[in-house]
Structure 1
Amino acid sequence: MSGSLRTRIVRSYGILIVLVVVMLGTMFGTLVWNYYYSSAVGSVLQRAETESAIHTRMIAYEPMKAKARYMLQNMSEGTTHLQLLTSAGELVVDSNGLGANSGSGSNSGAAAGEQQAELTPDVDQAMKGKKGIWRGSDPVTGERIAAVTLPVMQGPRVVAMFRYTASLEEVDKTVRSILSITVLVGSFVVLLFFTMSVLIANRIAKPIRNLTRVAEKMAEGDWTRRAVHLHDRDEIGRLAETLNTMASELTRREKLKEDFISSISHELRTPLTSIRGWSETLASGDPGDVEELNMGLSIIGRETERLSGLVEDLLDFSKLYAKSIVLHPEALDIRRTIGETLRQFIARGQRESIRIIGKYSDEPLVARVDANRLKQVFINVLDNALKFTPSGGTVTVTGERRSGEAHITIQDTGPGIPPEDLPHVTEKFYKGTSQRSGSGLGLAICKEIVELHGGQFQVSSAAGEGTTVLISIPLVPDEERQEPASD
């Protein structure tokens, strides 16, 4: 396929170059032709008009024999050949000595010895009283000439004609030489550009062949292949860069899919195994053993709740990953959402002997947010904070206004996040080294939701000092908001 592409490129360039060279060569040849032949004819015409102006007045009313004698005596020497013709086009005398030798003294006597000249187009025009100009082959000698014939007028009547001719042999040689050089130069230019077109075609076809091979390997599932020519910033270089970017993205998505399948398989297996095991235990156990019954039902309930939460996370992740999640924002005071979330966790904190503290700004924190999605973020972060905070610890939630944004921090007194895990805790399916890690989706979903609101989600931690999550969301400008009520 690349071979045919190269052939098409070379053919296209070749045709274009030949057309351009032929067109320019034709224009140049035409200019040279017109210049030299026009100059030759113009030179003859200028001499003819000059000498005609001098001699016409002297011989206009003289008999033909006197005209001939005058012309023989006053013909100027040079490369131009001069002829005197009668009004009928008969040759009387020329600078080569041809024509009438003598006559009887009358016009008819002179005419008796005259020769009939060939009626070339210039002579024909002069016979009609017009200036005749012609370029062609002499009917007698066959030599190429430029001829100018001027009529000698006696009133409205043509009584004689001056015919000036000049050989075009030297002009023909010069024009042929120039045209030959033009053809040689044109042939060299065509050859040069044909060679360049082959090189250009190879330069274009070679990287395209490489891209084709890489694309074929990618189509077979080998995403490790990469296109070269990234140093070129032309269209092919950008295409190679785009292809490599696409391969990297597909590789990342493939890894994400594998992580997804691996993580989900593990996460689903654990609660299902517990539910199945306790279901079989309760089914085959002593119905009167209340303690075992209550423990089994409690475990089944917790694992079912865990399974339900995992399914919800998967649904949220699927929507966020497909960019199909739809927010329903409204202007509300974020302090109210924080307060509602804290009240949900107070009972749990009491059971686990963890103190939960809420600190709010006195001024409203009004932002355009989806209340349910924002609450989902707070629940996820607080759940993580309580999960990793030991008994007797503290979880502190603060909300304040900074530079037109609501800054909500959730800080715990847990063991903190290891430095090697901290940069990855918001990545999808990353679980870290803790035994209490979940599916690896919670913080990733929180980060996506906050960013959909135009905010930022940041996690900072130090080993042995706890973890702090900072959520910043743009506030509604004071002049645009209608302050909602807060709890």
Structure 2
Amino acid sequence: MIKKGITRQIVLHYFIVVFLALLLVEFIFMLAVQRYYYESIYNTINQRITMTNDFKEPLSLVNGAEDGNNLSYLLVNLQLDNTELQILDLNGRVLASSTAFESEHAVLQTSDISQAMNGNVGRWVGRQPITGEQVMAVSHKLDLGGENTYVVRYLTSLDLVNSKLLVMGLLAAAVGVAVLSLVLIISIGMANSIVRPINNITAVSAQMARGRLDVRVKGNYKHELGELASTLNFMAHEIVRSNQIKDDFISSISHELRTPLTSIKGWSETLDSGGYDPEETRIGMGIISKETERLIGLVEEMLDFSKLQQNQMKLVKGTVNIREIVQETMLNVWAKAEQKQVHLKLETDETRAYNVHGDGNRLKQVFLNVVDNAIKFSHENSWIFLSVKEENGQIIAAVQDTGIGISEEHLIKVRDRFFQVNHQNGGTGLGLAITQELVELHEGTITMQSELGSGTTVTVTLPAVAEEMGPEESVTQSGDTAVPEERAASDTKSDIEKS
């Protein structure tokens, strides 16, 4: 007995389908064979009936003879082998018979007789009332002229045919049983070929659910089962990778949090002890303030990422000029760039307003993160080129540096959450993940191209909106803004000095 499960269901369904198909085929086959045999018998008798027309002329010569002589003459000349011949009057009474099977003067009322009286060749299949034997009767009317009109009825037994049909039926049933047995064996093998891999995959997934993420589904499975096994293995690999990234993140963020907290705690205790001159106190308070801002930045970055993951980030959208956002970003990172002796240059058309529909603060956060990363991974005395342009209804803002670049291995992972190429550089590894989420919230895209040792180009593409600025609203900041340490004479120089 097959236990309950997929195996039993598959075998049962296959068995039922094949059984019903075989039953239908054998029924049609036996019906066709029976029809063939019965039609053969009928056609043989019918051919004999058509030959009775040849006897009408000689029979008419004996019309003057006694009726008994006519009947005897008919019985002799119309006889058919293995068939009883009966001569009936128009009332269905048996006048003569080639055998004693039906007594003379008996009245028959089968359908073949009524059909024959109507001028047709009648046929009837049924059982003899006396013997119960199944027979076929074929009748037709024979008109010899005058009052000599008879019904000639041929009666033949179907027992021999039925016995042959029974043998054929038993043979067909035996073939059906053999076919069903073969189907049963094949379906069990087929079901096991499906169920065994499923059981293996289920066992492996149960181990993974218990925390055994080092196990893998083994076996060269095909089609959907192979895809399922590959997906499960890939899922386990990604979980292990995600856990490793989270562990690295926890280690990194713990270090990032501990360092400023240590500085704050140390200077707080030092200042609390008293006895320091105002200059040292000012330095200590400055360090406390700087480290506090750093902590706030780390916490805000994690809060932003949490909001994005929970779809709770709310944007205050309006018409935003991307060129102005990029220029403000350059002013914000000016001090950091100058400290590292990195030069910033903006290339754009100052006469155009590159407007998008978005949240200005969040878009500024995007470009601050991109430009800050470019400065962080750039060499001293290198250049960072920023550009803003419009193509095919899209605002394209690019940040290109000539820094250390990113390898192909890391480039595909750099926008994953918690991922950091170099953990010694600090940070949470959430910056680019947040940046991508924010850009996608603005229905835009962000792409990265990089070559190890040659630099990186980050391109942000956003849908543009129609310009609605009048002449009095045009931006007055320089289109080609150079912000190197020599402070070239331009409108941006005065803006930086005022800030």
**Contact kept in structure 2, 1:150 and 1:163, CA below 8 Å:** yes
CA distance in 1 between counterparts of 2:52 and 2:240 reads 94
CA distance in 2 between counterparts of 1:309 and 1:127 reads 107
Deviation string, structure 1 residues 359-405 (Cα, Å, up to 9, x no partner): 443452614243212211332344445556788x4654432437555
How far the C-alpha of 1:306 sits from its partner, in A, is: 0.4
In the alignment, which residue of structure 2 is the partner of 1:8? 9
Moved more, 79-88 or 21-30: 79-88
How far the C-alpha of 1:438 sits from its partner, in A, is: 3.0
In the alignment, which residue of structure 2 is the partner of 1:212? 202
**Contact kept in structure 1, 2:134 and 2:158, CA below 8 Å:** yes
How far the C-alpha of 1:348 sits from its partner, in A, is: 5.8
Q: Aligned match of 1:318 in 299, 306, 311?
A: 306
Write the mapping of 1:86-101 to structure 2, written as runs, cut at 5 A: 92-95=95-98
**Contact kept in structure 1, 2:92 and 2:113, CA below 8 Å:** no
Q: Aligned match of 2:104 in 89, 100, 116?
A: 116
In the alignment, which residue of structure 2 is the partner of 1:399? 387
C-alpha spacing 1:157/1:299, structure 2 compared with 1 (3 Å):
farther
Q: What is the aligned-residue identity percentage?
A: 33
SS of the residue corresponding to residue 125 of structure 2 reads: strand
In the alignment, which residue of structure 1 is the partner of 2:475? 486
C-alpha spacing 1:419/1:20, structure 2 compared with 1 (3 Å):
closer
How far the C-alpha of 1:457 sits from its partner, in A, is: 4.2
C-alpha spacing 1:8/1:44, structure 2 compared with 1 (3 Å):
same
Q: Which amino acid letter does the alignment assign opposite residue 445 of structure 1?
A: I
Write the mapping of 1:154-193 to structure 2, written as runs, cut at 5 A: 160-193=150-183
CA distance in 2 between counterparts of 1:285 and 1:26 reads 109
CA distance in 1 between counterparts of 2:176 and 2:408 reads 71
Count of matched residue positions in the alignment of Structure 1 and Structure 2 = 463
Q: Which amino acid letter does the alignment assign opposite residue 133 of structure 1?
A: R
Moved more, 117-126 or 184-193: 117-126
Deviation string, structure 1 residues 422-480 (Cα, Å, up to 9, x no partner): 746555434445854333333443344445552334364765x8x55433424638xx4
How far the C-alpha of 1:309 sits from its partner, in A, is: 0.7
C-alpha spacing 1:64/1:352, structure 2 compared with 1 (3 Å):
closer
TM-score w.r.t. structure 1 length? Answer: 0.78
Moved more, 397-406 or 176-185: 397-406
CA distance in 2 between counterparts of 1:2 and 1:225 reads 29
In the alignment, which residue of structure 2 is the partner of 1:27? 28
Q: Which amino acid letter does the alignment assign opposite residue 370 of structure 1?
A: D
SS of the residue corresponding to residue 426 of structure 2 reads: coil
**Contact kept in structure 2, 1:75 and 1:95, CA below 8 Å:** no
C-alpha spacing 1:75/1:262, structure 2 compared with 1 (3 Å):
same
In the alignment, which residue of structure 2 is the partner of 1:107? none
SS of the residue corresponding to residue 279 of structure 1 reads: helix
C-alpha spacing 1:118/1:482, structure 2 compared with 1 (3 Å):
farther
Q: Which amino acid letter does the alignment assign opposite residue 281 of structure 1?
A: T
SS of the residue corresponding to residue 301 of structure 1 reads: helix
CA distance in 1 between counterparts of 2:159 and 2:410 reads 96
Pairing 1:84–2:87 present? yes
**Contact kept in structure 1, 2:112 and 2:124, CA below 8 Å:** no
Deviation string, structure 1 residues 189-244 (Cα, Å, up to 9, x no partner): 2222222221222122122212221221122122333335665224x444334434
Q: Which amino acid letter does the alignment assign opposite residue 68 of structure 2?
A: K
Pairing 1:293–2:281 present? yes
**Contact kept in structure 1, 2:418 and 2:429, CA below 8 Å:** yes
In the alignment, which residue of structure 1 is the partner of 2:246? 257
SS of the residue corresponding to residue 361 of structure 1 reads: coil
Deviation string, structure 1 residues 263-295 (Cα, Å, up to 9, x no partner): 222222221122122212221232x53233222
CA distance in 1 between counterparts of 2:3 and 2:352 reads 67
**Contact kept in structure 2, 1:86 and 1:159, CA below 8 Å:** yes
Moved more, 52-61 or 181-190: 52-61
In the alignment, which residue of structure 2 is the partner of 1:374? 363
CA distance in 2 between counterparts of 1:450 and 1:126 reads 94
Q: Which amino acid letter does the alignment assign opposite residue 290 of structure 1?
A: P
In the alignment, which residue of structure 2 is the partner of 1:335? 323
SS of the residue corresponding to residue 83 of structure 1 reads: strand
TM-score w.r.t. structure 2 length? Answer: 0.76
Q: Which amino acid letter does the alignment assign opposite residue 344 of structure 1?
A: N
SS of the residue corresponding to residue 240 of structure 1 reads: helix
Q: Which amino acid letter does the alignment assign opposite residue 292 of structure 1?
A: E
CA distance in 2 between counterparts of 1:215 and 1:64 reads 98
Moved more, 119-128 or 2-11: 119-128
In the alignment, which residue of structure 2 is the partner of 1:106? none
**Contact kept in structure 2, 1:126 and 1:150, CA below 8 Å:** no
Q: Which amino acid letter does the alignment assign opposite residue 244 of structure 2?
A: K
CA distance in 2 between counterparts of 1:313 and 1:123 reads 99
CA distance in 2 between counterparts of 1:85 and 1:459 reads 108
Q: Which amino acid letter does the alignment assign opposite residue 341 of structure 1?
A: T
CA distance in 2 between counterparts of 1:86 and 1:333 reads 115
CA distance in 1 between counterparts of 2:92 and 2:445 reads 106
In the alignment, which residue of structure 2 is the partner of 1:226? 216
**Contact kept in structure 1, 2:252 and 2:426, CA below 8 Å:** no
In the alignment, which residue of structure 2 is the partner of 1:309? 297
Q: Aligned match of 1:243 in 229, 232, 235?
A: 232
Gaps of 5+ in 2: 477-499
C-alpha spacing 1:18/1:61, structure 2 compared with 1 (3 Å):
farther
CA distance in 1 between counterparts of 2:377 and 2:157 reads 113
Pairing 1:344–2:332 present? yes
SS of the residue corresponding to residue 225 of structure 1 reads: coil
C-alpha spacing 1:226/1:373, structure 2 compared with 1 (3 Å):
same
Pairing 1:199–2:184 present? no
**Contact kept in structure 2, 1:407 and 1:471, CA below 8 Å:** yes
**Cα RMSD over matched residues?**
4.1
CA distance in 2 between counterparts of 1:142 and 1:422 reads 94
Moved more, 8-17 or 398-407: 398-407
Q: Which amino acid letter does the alignment assign opposite residue 305 of structure 2?
A: F
CA distance in 1 between counterparts of 2:448 and 2:130 reads 107
CA distance in 2 between counterparts of 1:127 and 1:51 reads 18
CA distance in 1 between counterparts of 2:307 and 2:348 reads 32
SS of the residue corresponding to residue 154 of structure 2 reads: strand
